[in-house]
Amino acid sequence: MSTSLTLFDKIWRAHEIHAREDGASLLFVDRHFVHEGSHHAFRKLAERGQSLAQPELTFGVADHYVPTRGRGKAIADPAIARMVSTLEENAARHGFRLFGLDDPRQGIVHVVGPEQGLTLPGLLINCGDSHTSTHGAFGVFGFGIGATEVAHVLATQTIWQKKPARMRIRFEGTLAPGVAAKDMALNWIARLGTDGGRGAAIEYAGSAVRALSMEGRMTLCNLSIEGGARCGMVAPDTTTFAYLENRPYAPQGAAREQALAAWAELVSDGQAEFDREVVIDAGEIAPIVTWGTSPEDALPISESVPDPARAASESEATRIRASLEYMDLRPGMKLSEIAVDQVFIGSCTNARIEDLRAAAAVLAGRKAKVPGLVSPGSSLVKRQAEEEGLDRIFVEAGLEWVAAGCSMCVGMNGDIVAPGKRCASTTNRNFRGRQGPGARTHLMSPAMVAAAAVTGHLTDARPLLEGRL
């Protein structure tokens, strides 16, 4: 047997408490993030009369339901107010730290964890949210779990898992200017399909991944779930270590020295074997938009809406027809002819400072032709953007600058796209009704959303970025 290990193998091995004969392993959970939507799990815990196993490894964040306007005032919607207060009550009862609605560190859980230095290389992180894969950007085994599993982690600080297949996606070469991590993710998902990474642990590697900032790596890992993977990860390097320096909960002093030594080991060995390997030429990737109701329905902006008559199979044709009917698009029309009603810049996918800067680079000195909402990923990102003057660029362009939360990505807080309206969005899911009943969503990078705002239709952002990058 080969002694060469992948990055994933190393993290798995470091967390294995017990390996059962049938192939399931009991793994230790280093961080558990909970949010308002975790109420089912807390109820399960209460029904069993159980307490929280490790309050100091559990952190709560109010994000899914929180209003993005009128912060500091009472929440008007009683159902939403109840969700937020239930989380506060559970935090008080079980003694875990909460970044609540009025906390200056509040934000989307997958933005707050890294920002606070809670997300560290080599950890296993769980959260009752599928985009927990985001934390993989730090060389973390991070994966979303359902309510039964959340209750299990709360009660035991462990989780049962069967070892996933190991997959590596290498992006070799250099991204063209104006092409972003979002385009890399949509590129591989369009290529392999929404079940292309089914259940696998993906390691993203290659020179184009190494060249990404932590923000870009988080976007790439965030979307792993849209390709069906259990998790996505990037081996930590000097970019990672620099990001973590002086973060509040990250190791300091001697502990940091010890951590750095351990983190340096977190790479796939040269001879390590993967169950599947895909190589993508990063230089070939163009800005991408989605046209349908699944993230795999993605094409370069220069292309046209697919024709179901040319589909590979009847079920594929049926799917395309249904998508086009819902999206109200004609086969063969240029993607750049699709007019939008509004834009949204936000979500755990693309609402970190670098994303806001990319959108602002397009919007500076220009007016948006359509209305739009900009919701930063966290209250700290909001503050930093305001220090950099980005908020003024958005507001002067005619967009609304609001507080941090999941907002219009999932529509739980009332920020929704009206029925039949079309939204260019930096989010992760173009599912039917995701942004509100009857809403039509086109996914793309922050610069591309900003370009859609400026022109009123889907368009290549690159000409608008000329001289601005």
Partner 1 sequence: MTGWTRHQGLAVGLPFENVDTDQLIPARFMSAPRSEGYGRFLLHDLRHDANGAPIRDFPLNDPGAEGASVLVARRNFGGGSSREAAVYALADAGFRAVIAPSFGDIFAGNAVNNGLLPARVSEADADALLAATPGDLAVDLEACTITAGERVIGFEIDPVWRTKLINGWDDIDLTRAHAQEITDFIAARRAARPWVWPHGVGS
Q: Which helix (H) or strand (E) is 192 found in, with range?
A: helix 181-192
Q: Does 26 bind partner 1 (CB under 8 A)?
A: yes
Q: Does 129 bind partner 1 (CB under 8 A)?
A: yes
Q: Does 422 bind partner 1 (CB under 8 A)?
A: no
Q: Does 229 bind partner 1 (CB under 8 A)?
A: yes
Tokens of 11: 């993290």
Helix axes 39-47 and 147-156, enclosed angle (nearest 10): 60
Q: Does 35 bind partner 1 (CB under 8 A)?
A: no
Name which of 221, 69, 209 is nearest 134 in CA terms.
Answer: 221
**Least Å distance between CB 400 and partner 1?**
22
Tokens of 127: 């959260």
Q: Does 421 bind partner 1 (CB under 8 A)?
A: no
Q: Which is nearer to partner 1, 164 or 178 (CB)?
A: 164
Q: Which is nearer to partner 1, 195 or 284 (CB)?
A: 195
Q: Count the residues in the chain.
A: 469
User: Can you tell me the distance from the alpha carbon of 359 to that of 381, in angstroms, rounded to the nearest whole number?
Assistant: 14
Q: Which region among 102-110, 213-221, 310-318, 375-383 touches partner 1 (by CB under 8 A)? A: 310-318
Q: DSSP characters for 335-393?
A: GGG-B-SEEEE-TTTS-SHHHHHHHHHHHTT---SS-EEE--SBHHHHHHHHHTTHHHH
Tokens of 71: 């912060």
Q: Which is nearer to partner 1, 117 or 398 (CB)?
A: 117
Which residues does residue 34 pair with via DSSP β-bridges, in sequence order? 60
Q: Which is nearer to partner 1, 177 or 253 (CB)?
A: 253
Which residues does residue 61 pair with via DSSP β-bridges, in sequence order? 99
Q: Which region among 16-24, 204-212, 335-343, 387-395 touches partner 1 (by CB under 8 A)? A: 16-24
**Least Å distance between CB 202 and partner 1?**
12
Tokens of 213: 């900032």
Q: Give the interface size with partner 1 as a residue count (CB under 8 A).
A: 86
- The single residue among 63, 115, 149, 203 that binds partner 1, judged by CB under 8 A, is 149
What are φ and ψ of residue 414, in 5° steps?
A: 95, -10
**Least Å distance between CB 163 and partner 1?**
11
Q: Which is nearer to partner 1, 278 or 322 (CB)?
A: 322
Q: Does 130 bind partner 1 (CB under 8 A)?
A: yes
Q: Which is nearer to partner 1, 227 or 377 (CB)?
A: 227
- The single residue among 67, 107, 114, 128 that binds partner 1, judged by CB under 8 A, is 128
- The single residue among 437, 463, 468, 469 that binds partner 1, judged by CB under 8 A, is 437
Q: Which is nearer to partner 1, 118 or 186 (CB)?
A: 118
What is the pattern of x (binds partner 1, CB under 8 A) and - over residues 91-120?
A: ------x-------------------xx-x
Phi-psi region of 248 (alpha: psi -120 to 50; beta: other; left: phi over 0): alpha
* Cα atoms in the 13 Å half-sphere on the side-chain side of 143: 25
Q: Which region among 15-23, 169-177, 344-352, 442-450 touches partner 1 (by CB under 8 A)? A: 15-23
Applying the rule CB under 8 A, the residues between 168 and 207 that interact with partner 1 are 193-195, 198-199
User: Can you tell me the distance from the alpha carbon of 241 to that of 282, in angstroms, rounded to the nearest whole number?
Assistant: 25
246 burial via Cβ count (<10 Å: 0-12, 13-18, 19+): exposed
Q: Which is nearer to partner 1, 220 or 259 (CB)?
A: 259
103 burial via Cβ count (<10 Å: 0-12, 13-18, 19+): middle
**Least Å distance between CB 262 and partner 1?**
6
User: Can you tell me the distance from the alpha carbon of 351 to that of 445, in angstroms, rounded to the nearest whole number?
Assistant: 10
Applying the rule CB under 8 A, the residues between 354 and 393 that interact with partner 1 are none
Please report the sign of the dihedral spanned by the C-alpha atoms of residue 226, residue 231, residue 235, residue 237. positive
Q: Does 277 bind partner 1 (CB under 8 A)?
A: no
Applying the rule CB under 8 A, the residues between 61 and 80 that interact with partner 1 are 65, 79-80
Q: Which region among 31-39, 68-76, 179-187, 234-242 touches partner 1 (by CB under 8 A)? A: 31-39
Applying the rule CB under 8 A, the residues between 388 and 417 that interact with partner 1 are 410-412
